[in-house]
Chain A
C-alpha cells in the first residue's frame, strides 16, 4: 500500500480524508487508481504534458519533477504528498 497525503484543496474528492491508501507501480498508475476510486481527485493534477506545473508531488520527500515525473516508480510503504500552489494571504 502507498499512503497519499492530500491537500485540503483536494480532500473534498475523497470524502474529506486527509490521507488515502492506494497502489501503483508508478506515480502515473497510482493517480489512475486514485481517479477510479475518487473521481475528480486527480483531474486538476495532470494535463497532456504530464503533471501540471503548479502542482508538486513528493515521493518520500523527493520532488518527482527530478525523479521521472509520472514515471517515478513506487513501492510498498512509499509516502506520496500532493502540494498545489495556493495564494491566500
Chain B
C-alpha cells in the first residue's frame, strides 16, 4: 500500500471521497496511483474522462483521431464552441487539466488499430470503450482480453444505452460472449444518421466512469457478468445476466483469436475502403 502523499489542497479537493468509509484516503491513493485509457473523446468519453479527472485518477489517456465538429457540442461536454476544428484530444486534455491540474493527461491523437492497440493499452490499468463503431469495439475487447485488462463497455443508440464490464480471464463474459458477431455493415445506423439524445451518453458515460473508478479503487462489485440496459424514453433501467461462452474465440476454453486480427474485414468492411457512414461517422464518437 502506497502511503497517500496528498497535499493540504488535495485533501480538501478530495475531502468528499476521503470521508467515504468505503474509499477513504487509501482508496483515494489508489485512484491517484491509477491509470485509465478512454477510447473516444466524444459523447461517452466526455463524461467518463471528466469524472475520472475530477475524481483524481492519476493518469488519464484520451484517444481520438477526430476534430471537434459543431454537431458534437450538443452532447460532448469536453469541447467548447471555440474548440470547433481543433483535435478532440487537445481540447479534451485542456478541459481535464482545467478541472484538475494535479493529474496527468496523455493525448493519443490517433485511430486505434491492430498495430498500435497493445502498445497504447499497455501502460493503463483499465480501458474504457467510448467509441462509435463496431470494428474498434471488437478490437478494444480482444486487446483487453489478450492483455488481461478490464474493459468498461458503453454503447448508445437514440434513447437507449448499454453498459457492462468485461473482466479478463475465463468465466467472465466479454463483448464477444455478448455479441459473437457484428451486424452486417450499414444495418445499424450511427448517431449521425439516426440521431441521439444529447444527455444519453451523459448517463451511460457516468455509469462507465463509476465502474472505472470502482475498478481502480478496488471497491464494490463491478458490473461484470451483467448488462445494464437503459431506455431513456421510458426511463427504465434493467439488468440482464450475461453468460461466459466456453466457445468464445477470445476468452473461451480454446481461444482461436490469440492476436489482433483485421477488424474491418471481421465487420464486413473492405480494408482500405471507406466504411459505410453507419459504421464510420467519425464525428459521432464521438
Q: Which residues of A contact B (CB under 8 A)?
A: 7-9, 18, 44, 52-56, 58, 61, 63, 66, 83-89
Contacts and interface: CB of A to CB of B under 8 A. Distances in A.
B180 A53 contact: yes
A8 B285 CA distance: 20
Contacts of A84: 183, 188
Given A53-B180, A87-B279, 15 more contacts: A9-B188, A18-B231, A18-B233, A52-B183, A53-B181, A63-B240, A63-B242, A66-B243, A84-B188, A86-B156, A87-B188, A88-B132, A88-B157, A89-B132, A89-B284
B243 A63 contact: yes
A26 B240 CA distance: 21
Given A53-B179, A54-B183, A58-B240, A89 B162 contact: no
17 contacts: A7-B160, A8-B158, A8-B233, A18-B231, A18-B233, A18-B234, A53-B180, A63-B242, A63-B243, A84-B183, A85-B155, A86-B157, A87-B131, A87-B155, A87-B279, A89-B132, A89-B284
Interface of B: 40, 42-45, 129-134, 137, 154-160, 162, 178-183, 187-188, 190-191, 194, 196, 201, 229, 231, 233-234, 240-243, 279, 284-286
A85 B161 CA distance: 11
